Homo-oligomer: A and B are copies of this chain.
């Protein structure tokens, strides 16, 4: 494991000093090689699936694990799209002069070596490797054992692409052992070789990483997202937004988990909302006021704190924006929260005062996604407060240094 770190550290220098064109060429070649290796990747994935079925993986885990020709094509195209993104390195973020003649610049540079610890989705191998490279970083990938054979084949294609562009293959390395000690070594930074860890997976994985990591962690925690329907909402928009925010895909972190609705409009609007949600197969759990309007399961304290990731919605009736924002501050996870209203003043107040990574007005919380933001993919959604928040694309995988040009200035 330590050798992995040393190789990555060595490759990091070559990658950050390579030209933007070389990084782009490598990404294009990586996409091509994924496509060319489709048969091998699918054969490896079939072996992972057989083993997964034998080991009794759940249907949803098997779905996450499964690749088919379309999914391989999406993966290849995703890498190529990252390759066509603008290279960020060397960007002059600020430029100023001091009275003593010093010329200062803040210049964008890569973070260095990024460790990514993930679970059963084999496509993370390609996505994470590509985004790290776009930002000039090296990646040490530690995927789940379930997807190991698939990840090995995908990594081969990525490394071939690097080699084609004259870049060191060790810029992307896969940890091929699946013992927990390997993760432990990554969490302590492989003796200074890892600059940042990104966990992508369930709560248990993130909790372990946060407890044990001795290097900075870019965490993606829970998405307990709220949609608040204000008295000033357009009912038709509210209907479309709530159903989409909850039901478009229930398993993603940007899915709404709690609906808040103003008491003044609840008697008229809530029955319509619930009818439409029911039609889409959604179970509802309401507070006392909600249950009095539409018969449903009473919500408990745990419901307000639940990231269901399932077709279940908790519903609270509130007295207005103050109560709605107090609920979000108390139970939200600082991920994504939305207000539905035509009242601009109330909307602006909500956008200003709700302290989440993403705040929206009149748009589905399911837009919480790097692709939807125009970032050309994402390595996750940052729920911490430092460095990178919300959808994290290539830019969130960079940092900066200060470059100072003088003519012999000494400090008085």
Binds B, one of A168-176, A298-306, A359-367: A359-367
Residues of B within 8 A of A73 (CB): none
Q: Which of A102, A196, A236 has the most CB of B within 10 A?
A: A102
Residues of B within 8 A of A196 (CB): 385-386
A351 to chain B, nearest CB (A): 5
Within 8 A of B (CB), among A326-383: 329, 347, 351-353, 355-364, 366-367, 369, 372-374
Indicate whether A410 sits within 8 Å of B248 (C-beta atoms), given known contacts A385-B112, A390-B401, A390-B402.
Answer: yes
Is A264 an interface position by the 8 A CB rule? no
Indicate whether A411 sits within 8 Å of B112 (C-beta atoms), given known contacts A399-B386, A402-B390.
Answer: no
**Are B248 and A411 neighbours in the complex by a CB distance under 8 Å?**
yes
Complex CA distance for A255 and B355, rounded to whole angstroms: 40
Binds B, one of A57-65, A237-245, A309-317: A237-245
Indicate whether A241 sits within 8 Å of B408 (C-beta atoms), given known contacts A355-B401, A402-B359.
Answer: yes
Complex CA distance for A383 and B232, rounded to whole angstroms: 49
Indicate whether A367 sits within 8 Å of B244 (C-beta atoms), given known contacts A109-B355, A111-B385, A385-B195.
Answer: no
Contact of A401 among B244, B359, B402 (CB under 8 A): B359
A191 to chain B, nearest CB (A): 15
Contact of A373 among B104, B234, B386 (CB under 8 A): B104
Is A403 an interface position by the 8 A CB rule? yes
Complex CA distance for A408 and B401, rounded to whole angstroms: 41
Is A267 an interface position by the 8 A CB rule? no
Complex CA distance for A361 and B403, rounded to whole angstroms: 8
**Are B384 and A216 neighbours in the complex by a CB distance under 8 Å?**
yes
Residues of B within 8 A of A352 (CB): 17, 90
**Are B386 and A17 neighbours in the complex by a CB distance under 8 Å?**
no
Is A56 an interface position by the 8 A CB rule? no
Residues of B within 8 A of A364 (CB): 406, 409-411
**Are B386 and A386 neighbours in the complex by a CB distance under 8 Å?**
yes
Complex CA distance for A178 and B314, rounded to whole angstroms: 45
Residues of B within 8 A of A237 (CB): 407-408
A216 to chain B, nearest CB (A): 5
Residues 222-263 of A, flagged 1 when their CB comes within 8 A of B and 0 if not, give 000000000000101100110111001000000000000000
Is A387 an interface position by the 8 A CB rule? yes
**Are A356 and B389 neighbours in the complex by a CB distance under 8 Å?**
no
Contact of A408 among B353, B363, B366 (CB under 8 A): B363
Complex CA distance for A104 and B363, rounded to whole angstroms: 11
**Are A367 and B216 neighbours in the complex by a CB distance under 8 Å?**
no
Residues 1-30 of A, flagged 1 when their CB comes within 8 A of B and 0 if not, give 000000000000100110000000000000
Complex CA distance for A406 and B360, rounded to whole angstroms: 7
Query: What residue in chain B is nearest A362 (Cβ atoms)?
Result: B406
Query: What residue in chain B is nearest A216 (Cβ atoms)?
Result: B386
Indicate whether A386 sits within 8 Å of B387 (C-beta atoms), given known contacts A104-B373, A410-B241.
Answer: yes
**Are B363 and A404 neighbours in the complex by a CB distance under 8 Å?**
yes
**Are B240 and A401 neighbours in the complex by a CB distance under 8 Å?**
no
**Are B360 and A404 neighbours in the complex by a CB distance under 8 Å?**
yes
Contact of A367 among B90, B236, B357, B404 (CB under 8 A): B404
Complex CA distance for A245 and B404, rounded to whole angstroms: 15
**Are A401 and B241 neighbours in the complex by a CB distance under 8 Å?**
no
**Are A409 and B363 neighbours in the complex by a CB distance under 8 Å?**
yes
User: What are 20 residue pairs bridging A and B, where the CB atoms are less than 8 Å apart in the complex?
Assistant: A13-B329, A90-B352, A102-B367, A104-B373, A104-B374, A216-B384, A357-B401, A358-B404, A359-B401, A360-B405, A361-B405, A361-B406, A363-B404, A366-B410, A366-B411, A369-B411, A372-B411, A385-B399, A386-B387, A387-B387
User: Which 4 residue pairs are nearest across A and B when measured between Cβ atoms?
Assistant: A363-B406, A244-B410, A237-B408, A387-B387
Supplied contacts A13-B329, A237-B408, A389-B401, 10 more A-B pairs, CB within 8 Å: A17-B352, A111-B386, A112-B355, A196-B385, A216-B384, A244-B411, A361-B405, A364-B406, A364-B410, A367-B409
